[in-house]
Chains A and B, each alone.
Chain A
Amino acid sequence: MRICLLTEGSYPYVVGGVSSWIQMLIEGMPEHEFVLYSIGAEEKDRGKFKYKRPVNLVDVHEVFLDSILNLKSPGLQEHNLTESDRRCIKDLICGIDDIKLDQLLEIFCPNGQKKDPLEIFMSFDFFDIIQTVYIEKYDYLPFTDFFWTIRSMLLPFFYLLQQELPEADIYHSVATGYCGVLGGVAATVYKKPFIITEHGIYSREREEEIIKCSWAKGDFKSVWIQYFYNLARLSYQKANRVLTLFEKNAETEKILGCDEDKIEIVPNGIRIERFSHIEPLKDHAGPIVIGAAVRVVPIKDIVTMLRAFFLVKQILPEAQFKIMGQYEEDPDYYDICCQTVETLQLKDVEFTGSVNVAEYYGKMDVLVLSSISEGQPLVVLEGLASCRPFVTTDVGCCREIIYGSTGDNRGAAGVVVAAMDYEKMAEEILCLAKNLDKRCEMGRIGRERVEAEYTYEKFINAYKEIYHREVEVKK
């Protein structure tokens, strides 16, 4: 089977959760061929892969958005859109349901012939569409800014519609957004199934980004945000199946307009054998060791952990705290952490740097995660696989992993506290530190849960099954 994976701003140029996941997926199915369609930001990244290319990744199509700048502006065009073309583009801007992707494609590649996207841009018809949308929905905004916003919003999309899409038996996009819609387009053109896997919720992430950004101003932020929600909805509509990592995401997708029946949960998995050598917890005479396997970056909120540890120290002066993860990524934040250690006059805190956690987890008594945002953190799965109880903040699917998803009655594998609540965190750490039986019990439950739900094999098999099923259904 030939599977086309569509990525956007991640694999193979950026190291991170989604990219590692893709690498695992491809490597896990040597019997299938993969084709990668990757949308990157800058042409200079072409060919600069951060991952070792798996042998079954047979083809890589790279498209870069900054190539748009090389397009030549044609002169003014009069009419080049039919009435229904105009309606189609208008629906796209307004976010009307059921946009006909094949028609959009027909506008930009009539009979497979590529048409300069700027030709549409320079046409009176297109201007008229913008004007109509403005009058209908946005007439409180400055028109010139609106005009340029719509242009800059649609240009990448129009450009991408023009690019050649590889042929495959199934299209699998790892986000909604541009690559999601393109997956839908490819599936429509070649009449093949299309699935989406969402790790984080793409449109929500864009929303957060846009709210913070400086390039979109005031009310235009909402125009942009709405656009990404539209793209997401369009992707959901065109997908035969929408996969996500955990229940909370599934709920969000439903709210964002995804058909409930399409959603399926396939959690990430870890190679559990890496942690099999680690012995279960036992009574030891030494001080309690608390561990956190995190990169030292703001989103992991190390400071909250340090504060919690300060409180733990008041009761258990011997306790130790090891922060396992690289600290070079954000030197400023690392400084802040060091200053916090100093200010609180904390002893026995160690920043180990990047280490192999499998060798460290055996020495830990309690593991902590204080992130303010997560998807499905692999470190928690790995910690549980090492039979160690976890105190985590209530982010991503931590609650599901710790307490079990619907239908899982194994019990708690740790405790979930509110993000940034260092007092509660300290309280729960102390409670676990003082109670070996509870720690052992939680460690056992955690290991069981990971073995049952979160293994690499289970994850790979689930996708194999989905690919086969979708391809069969389409036939």
Chain B
Amino acid sequence: MAGIGFELKKLFNDRSATGYIKAYGCSAVVTAGPFALMTGMVLMIQVLFRIFDIPYPEMQLYTASVIYPFIFSHIASSGFVMVITRYLADQLYSGKTKDILSSLYGMSVIALFAASIIAIAFFWNKPLNFSVKVYTYVFYLEMIVVWVQGAYLTAIKDYKGLLVTYAFGVAISILLTLLVLYVQIMPPVKGALLAMDFGNAYIMLRFFIYIGRYFGWEKSRGNFLFLPYFEQHKCLFFIAFIYTIALYLPNLLIWQGPLGVWIENTYIYAPMYDVATFYAFLSIMPVMILFVVSTELHFYEKYVAYFSYITDKGNFREIEDAKQELLQSMWSELRNIIEFQLVFTIVFLALGNYFLPMAGLTYTSVNMYNLIVLGAYFTGVMQVAYTILLYFEDQQGVLWIVSAFFILNTVFGGIGLWNGQESYGFTFFLAAAISCVLTIWRLSYFCKRINYYVFCSRPVFYQERKGPFSRITQWIYKET
């Protein structure tokens, strides 16, 4: 996302080996943190359940009660996170840190409110035990906040602190679960969920403290000053939202098919496909980590040079030269990432084919895994390419791309569902591959006429935005 890690950039100014390691570490923690947290925790607690001989349906309920909030908090928060990231980037760029902490409060409230509606609607007439519903709901809300905080954490250099926080949170959850299972003061699922709520609450609060310390606790002018961003950058909201739904769409569709399994008549999932998806998506962690570092290290510098020639009275030759350098650097970085990730993808294919059957996956499931790994590869490349487009403010173009990704997944997913199990995974692969090609095509088309887009995308004359969000903000803060 445009502007991520303006602060992260400082790490890379320290061009020593430790500087690089720190930078990669930070990028890894921020990018893969929540994912690693959930996976690690679920696996550990599942182990505990086995040790204490908890019946399988209980374990299934527990797993679903973690995965559902995780997936849906990701979807529900994605749009908000994108918009607040943009707000943060702009604030940091103009050196205004005063309103940042309060924007976290404001944005959390809005995201929680929006997310609650979905959750309450979902749980409304489900036969699940009420307290399990409540504990799951709490976890879901905590996750929403953690996703939102993630946007802020990219700006904080203290990756060790973040890592320790994650580790502590996970440890709290696991230890409390152990305690609950050991002393048996409450049913295992409830106890494990409650333990997780505590662990997550710890993480959430720690992050608040980190963010507060970093940006300062000063009183700001208001918690909702970012609202106009929902007008100016409404495209960003939809881009993130549509893209995230599209990512989960193949799973959501397959749940409806013959592989779907109901748990307590509340959750439905398709373990055969979902587990394959989970392992497959682990394969593109490297591309995400590498991209953050590579943009910060090479691309961003050229990007700034190009724009400063434009804003600082550069003549055409200088702008053109900077453009050439920028594009050259961008394409070579992109090529590097594509090649680098290809290696990982191949390694994951090999490892998956060897180890997954050992972990109990069926032949069909491993087949799905293979296709999803390839699909994930294209998804990763697509995400990198569209993030570059967002750096160039091509919000319209990206919205168009993610919409295509969404539609292709819906159409192919629907056909796959009708066609039967053998096409599961393939439909996602197809949708991802086509979308990836579209994105690269758009990127190359855009880059050919980048000067035009940069110069002409601004309105001819400044027009004050007077949409509902601006008006609400004005009304709240009595601005005229």
Contacts and interface: CB of A to CB of B under 8 A. Distances in A.
A131 B451 CA distance: 10
Question: Would you call the interface of chain B mostly helix, strand, loop, or mixed?
Answer: helix
Contacts of B461: 69, 73
A118 B315 contact: no
A190 interface: no
B396, B449, B456, B459 — which one has the most chain A CB atoms within 10 A of its CB? Answer: B456
26 contacts: A69-B461, A72-B463, A73-B459, A73-B461, A76-B452, A76-B453, A76-B457, A121-B456, A122-B460, A123-B456, A124-B452, A127-B451, A127-B455, A127-B456, A128-B452, A131-B451, A134-B316, A139-B317, A141-B315, A142-B314, A143-B310, A143-B316, A145-B313, A147-B455, A151-B460, A155-B460
A65 to B, nearest CB: 13
Contacts of B313: 142, 144-145
Contacts of A75: 396
A367 B282 CA distance: 98
A332 to B, nearest CB: 35
Interface of A: 69, 71-73, 75-76, 118, 121-124, 127-128, 131, 134-135, 139-145, 147, 151, 155
B460 A140 contact: no
Interface in B191-237: none
Contacts of B455: 127, 144, 147
Nearest to A75: B396
A457 to B, nearest CB: 50
Nearest to B313: A142
B319 interface: yes
B311 interface: yes
Contacts of A134: 316
Contacts of B453: 76
Interface of B: 310-311, 313-317, 319, 396, 449, 451-453, 455-457, 459-461, 463
A279 B457 CA distance: 72
A75 B400 CA distance: 15
Contact of B316 (A73, A124, A131): A131
A350 to B, nearest CB: 52
Contacts of B459: 73
A143 B323 CA distance: 14
Contact of A143 (B315, B449, B456): B315
Contacts of A139: 315-317
Contact of A144 (B311, B317, B449): B311
B316 A135 contact: yes
Contact of B319 (A69, A123, A143, A151): A143
Nearest to B319: A143
Nearest to A117: B460
A73 B314 contact: no
B140 to A, nearest CB: 38
Contacts of A142: 313-315
Contacts of A69: 461
Given A124-B456, A141-B315, 15 more contacts: A69-B461, A73-B461, A76-B396, A122-B456, A122-B460, A131-B316, A131-B451, A134-B316, A139-B315, A139-B316, A140-B315, A142-B313, A144-B310, A144-B311, A144-B314
A131 to B, nearest CB: 7
